[in-house]
Amino acid sequence: MLPKKPGKPTPAQPIEEANPHGEAPKVRAKTEGELERQIEKVKRDLSALGDLRPGSLSTQYNVCGTPGCRCKDTPPQKHGPYYQVSFSRKGKSSSKFVRKEDLPTIQKQLKNYERMKELVDRWIDLSTELSNLRLTQNRT
């Protein structure tokens, strides 16, 4: 999970109101409407993501078995770079080589996947907070 960005209140944090008199900020709880709006924004952001790809991208350089090849020199000039995306899905680890011309697309998909995980975590946090708020309101 990626760290939360500083400066933005997380769902568990109440919103602090600015105070023009230099006093300590007053803390107010989020309203049901605010939480619902934030959830709707998360849903919109999710639907706008585009293609997703789990995993991580790595760069590799190889040494071949051909005698006298430049990769056997001192210092060696290895073959590459070769790009590879590694991932686990449904309990199975896998990796695939990526062509250099496909790198921008793969990088965007990896970034979208990470963003999707952040958004889903935020949605869960907001939904839990909304549920707790509604349960509290039903008691009163």
The answer to whether position 41 is within a domain reads yes
The answer to whether position 133 is within a domain reads no
- Starting at the earlier edge strand, list the strands of the sheet with 56-62: 56-62, 79-89, 92-98
The answer to whether position 14 is within a domain reads no
pLDDT digits (tens, 9 = 90+) for 33-44: 999 999 999 999
Residue ranges making up the domain that contains 73 = 34-116
Indicate yes or no: pTM above 0.75.
Answer: no
Q: Confirm if 98 and 82 have CB atoms less than 8 A apart.
A: no
Work out how many domains the chain is built from and give that number. 1
* Longest alpha-carbon distance in the chain: 83
pLDDT digits (tens, 9 = 90+) for 12-55: 445 455 555 565 554 456 899 999 999 999 999 999 999 999 99
CB atoms within 10 A of CB 66: 10
Q: Confirm if 32 and 130 have CB atoms less than 8 A apart.
A: yes
* CA–CA dist 115, 119 (Å, integer): 6
